[in-house]
Amino acid sequence: MANGVGTVGRQPLLSRIAGRLPLQTLKALLRHRLSVFGLTYIAIAVGVAVFAGALAWHDPNAINPILALEPPSWAHPLGLDDVGRDVFSRLLYGARVSIQVGVMSAGLAVLVGVPLGVVAAYAGGWTDHVIMRIVDAKIAIPNLLLAILLLLVLGGGVFTVSLALGLNLTSTQARLVRSRALSVKELDYVLAARALGCSPLRILTLHVLPNAFQPVIVQATLGMGFAVLGEAGLSFLGIGVTIPTPSWGNMLNLAFQNMESAPWLSIAPGLAIFLLVLSFNFVGDGLRDVLDPRLRGRV
């Protein structure tokens, strides 16, 4: 047992976490049909976000009031909005906002929630009570209300929207990791590490955290979908990413204001949001099935 613990202890943390997703697991994920659809659409959305400048036919912020609310045409495949901006170009640039908000929000939730949950589970006692009561107090505040309050104080923008949505996701990550870490810390290899005199920090980083990280990956993927939907909702209300920055949410806001005269304006951004959120959920479900040994045979 001592040799096994020593060998594991010498493995870097990142390589141990990566070891939870071996090649056969990735192959199993690719056999999950809905996950393949999700991964494909997410890859397309990321590609569009990265190369929006090259793919856009027009400047997304250039206005032409004379052609306002012009219907779709060869020159403007998705038409023009109420001030004459090209909807297709704004849709491409809006993908950047959705991808950035999704990644930044989920990343913040992992960076804050995972350490809180692991420390609470391993330390126990009053440390666990203090951390989890703070988490519970945050959960008692409605997510939308907390996001609105933060945005009213800090102002709109990609970073502040990501911060607001990331804080909403933090509590879920903390509770999820804590429940997993509570069972991991009682396993034999963790007890052996304690008996060998390993420090709490070493045990947490090399033994508890890597073995409690699988649900974090699944929740982070699902959290990206939540963040994309949250950003669209906040921007639709006019307190998220504000005009002139292109965002699928504020594009829907403008489409709603012109629903009777230009109903086509709502189709493209609404469909883009729907497919991206659905794709993140498909990938999250696939990861859950692949990483959970009890469901692995059902993929």
pLDDT tens by residue, 155-203? 878 899 999 999 989 999 999 999 888 888 877 788 788 788 788 788 8
Mean pLDDT of 57-71: 88
Mean pLDDT, rounded, for 250-277: 91
User: Does residue 73 come out as left (phi exceeding 0), alpha (psi in the -120 to 50 range) or beta?
Assistant: beta
pLDDT score of 289: 80
Q: Which of 182, 198, 176, 293 is nearest to 8 (CA)?
A: 198
The residue ranking higher by pLDDT, 299 or 32, is 32
pLDDT at 225 (0 to 100): 92
Q: Which long-range contacts (CB under 8 A, 24 or more apart) does 196-202 make?
A: 196/2, 196/5, 196/6, 198/5, 198/9, 200/122, 202/9
What would the mean pLDDT of 15-21 be, rounded to a whole number?
48
**Half-sphere exposure of 130 toward its Cβ, with a 13 Å CA cutoff?**
5
Give me the residue spans of the domains in the chain. Answer: 32-298
3 pLDDT band, cuts 50/70/90, is very low
Give yes or no for residue 16 having a pLDDT over 60: no
Topology at the third CATH level for domain 32-298: MetI-like fold (1.10.3720)
Which residues fall within 8 angstroms of residue 185, CB to CB, at 6 or more apart? Answer: 121, 122, 208
- As a whole number, mean pLDDT of residues 265-281 equals 94
